[in-house]
């Protein structure tokens, strides 16, 4: 995978790819929805499988020449069903958002009532947020977190009783606690709703038995494949026994909504990468990996707390944590993200529950441990990383966003320029480089 052909045919693009590899190698990738798949996965995604159209499903294609493609997709399906212990799996969704949209369109009509966790409380856009098509096409009722940072089950129960939703989502994109599948199953049963679990963030933890599985409690499971599952950028929709019992035609409805309802030709090079990732996730060493993700996340959280950094829900039970920067004022997330980025620590600014600022200038930072755990880092490194993050936070905590929009843009522009020559951030950067030098990324890949 030296990309010799890219180097020869497009030197300009080759330099961009080379630069991105250097950035990944010399930095700490801590956005919890990102990971480093194996070279086997990357090879499959760059294979000749890219060349084939295969609308339809195995043995039911609209194009000829799919005998090997059928084998690839059938293998991925079999592995998904085995790993997650479900009777039906569709591995064709291009990504998580169209997978979730397919669930809506298979089960609901425009205007039907649906429920999901509020985006500002850690939910996902596709769980009914107002700016998403899912919040525009359907009547969305959102539940929230309690003051302790955990999902307010009683509020969700009350809202379900009052609104009788057709579909309820349990899942999140910025929630550091275990997802309460059993409790939501009781709510869904009471009001006759379909229950879908979006486990995109914790799929690898579920596969390894480190996080509770939703399969016995919900009707449908959706997941992306590139987060803790450590595969390519794709998605899977699964129907459970419980789902089949509620609606014997549920799997057919899902399949028809993916194709021809929403998508055309599936990306079979991605399907092959998914098949490899599913095989890797079935191995004993993947269980150890998933356990280490959580141990690392907890060690990172504890050291941040010792350093005086506030966390939403005061800790974590999974792969991510959410820093609450409001003790230093509102809207500080943008400054911390820029400072950490300059220091080689990649995180994302994020809203927190009861966000006091604007969504684009939020008061939180979301970070996690899947990618750095893939590189082999453990608890001692988490302590050092927490200390580096704390130094960066303390260096920029005094910055204040102007209320006036023009003044705000000018202020941020100056901040981005000044942070590049900040001595403390440079020292943090040196600390990051020292850690990364001991945990090489893709050493076999030479560009």
Cα torsion 18, 392, 339, 425 to 10°: value is -60
Catalytic residue among 7, 43, 52, 53: 53
Catalytic residue among 25, 227, 242, 429: 227
Q: Burial level of 293, CB count in 10 A (0-12/13-18/19+)?
A: buried
Q: Would you say 300 and 385 are in contact if contact means Cβ atoms under 8 Å apart?
A: yes
Catalytic residue among 26, 34, 43, 55: 55
Q: Would you say 86 and 239 are in contact if contact means Cβ atoms under 8 Å apart?
A: yes
69-80: b (≥16 Cβ within 10 Å) or e = bbebbbbbbebb
DSSP characters over 362-430: -SEEEEESHHHHHTT--HHHHHHHHHHHHHHHHHHTT----SSHHHHHHHHHHHHHHHTT-HHHHHHHH
Positions of E strands within 37-144: 56-57, 60-61, 88-90, 113-117, 139-143
How far is the C-alpha of 199 from the C-alpha of 220, rounded, in Å?
Answer: 11
Q: Is the peptide bond before 309 cis (omega within 30 degrees of 0)?
A: no
Cα 165 off chain centre by = 26
Based on C-alpha coordinates, what's the Rg of the chain? 22
Q: Would you say 350 and 174 are in contact if contact means Cβ atoms under 8 Å apart?
A: yes
Q: Is 224 a catalytic residue?
A: yes
64: left (phi > 0), else alpha (psi -120 to 50), else beta?
A: beta
Catalytic residue among 198, 280, 355, 381: 198
Which of 254, 266, 261 is CA-nearest to residue 55?
A: 266
Q: Is 227 a catalytic residue?
A: yes
Q: Is 374 a catalytic residue?
A: no
Beta strands 235-239 and 88-90, pairing class: antiparallel
Catalytic residue among 7, 52, 146, 233: 233
Q: Is 61 a catalytic residue?
A: no
Q: Is 233 a catalytic residue?
A: yes
Catalytic residue among 120, 173, 224, 351: 224
Q: Is 55 a catalytic residue?
A: yes
Beta strands 60-61 and 56-57, pairing class: antiparallel
Q: Locate 365 and state its tokens.
A: 């930072």
| Active-site residue set | 53, 55, 198, 224, 227, 233
């Amino acid at each position: 995978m030296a990309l010799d052909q890219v180097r020869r045919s497009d030197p300009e693009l080759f330099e961009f790819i080379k630069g991105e590899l250097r950035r990944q190698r010399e930095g700490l990738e801590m956005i919890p929805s990102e990971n480093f798949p194996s070279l086997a996965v990357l090879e499959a995604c760059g294979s000749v499988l890219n060349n084939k159209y295969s609308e339809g499903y195995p043995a039911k294609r609209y194009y000829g020449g799919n005998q090997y493609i059928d084998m690839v997709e059938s293998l991925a399906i079999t592995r998904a069903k085995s790993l997650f212990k479900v009777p039906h799996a569709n591995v064709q969704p291009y990504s998580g958002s169209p997978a979730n949209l397919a669930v809506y369109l298979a089960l609901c009509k425009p205007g039907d009532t649906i429920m999901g966790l509020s985006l500002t409380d850690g939910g996902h856009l596709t769980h009914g947020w107002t700016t998403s098509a899912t919040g525009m096409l359907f009547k969305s009722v959102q539940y929230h977190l309690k003051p302790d940072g955990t999902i307010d089950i009683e509020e969700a129960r009350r809202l379900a009783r009052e609104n009788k939703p057709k579909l309820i989502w349990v899942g999140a994109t910025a929630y550091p606690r275990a997802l309460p599948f059993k409790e939501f199953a009781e709510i869904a049963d009471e009001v006759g709703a379909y229950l879908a679990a979006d486990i995109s963030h914790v799929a690898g933890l579920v596969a390894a038995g480190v996080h509770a599985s939703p399969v016995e409690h919900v009707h449908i499971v959706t997941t992306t494949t590139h987060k803790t599952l450590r595969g390519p950028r794709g998605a899977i929709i699964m129907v459970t026994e419980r789902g089949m019992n509620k609606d014997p035609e549920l799997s057919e409805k899902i399949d028809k909504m993916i194709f021809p309802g929403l998508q055309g030709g599936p990306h079979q090079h991605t399907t092959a990468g998914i098949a490899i990732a599913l095989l890797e996730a079935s191995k004993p060493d993947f269980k150890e990996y998933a356990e280490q993700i959580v141990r690392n996340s907890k060690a990172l959280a504890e050291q941040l707390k010792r350093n005086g950094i506030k966390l939403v829900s005061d800790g974590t039970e999974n792969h991510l944590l959410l820093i609450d920067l409001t003790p230093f004022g509102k809207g500080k997330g943008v400054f911390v993200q820029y400072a950490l980025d300059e220091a080689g620590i990649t995180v994302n600014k994020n809203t927190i529950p009861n966000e006091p600022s604007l969504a684009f200038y939020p008061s939180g930072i979301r970070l996690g441990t899947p990618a750095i755990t893939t590189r082999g880092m453990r608890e001692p490194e988490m302590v050092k990383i927490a200390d580096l993050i704390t130094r960066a936070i303390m260096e920029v905590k005094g910055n204040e966003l102007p209320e006036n929009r023009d003044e705000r843009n000018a202020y941020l522009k100056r901040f981005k320029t000044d942070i590049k020559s900040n001595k403390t951030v440079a020292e943090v950067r040196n600390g990051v480089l020292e850690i990364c030098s001991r945990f090489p990324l893709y050493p076999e890949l030479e560009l």
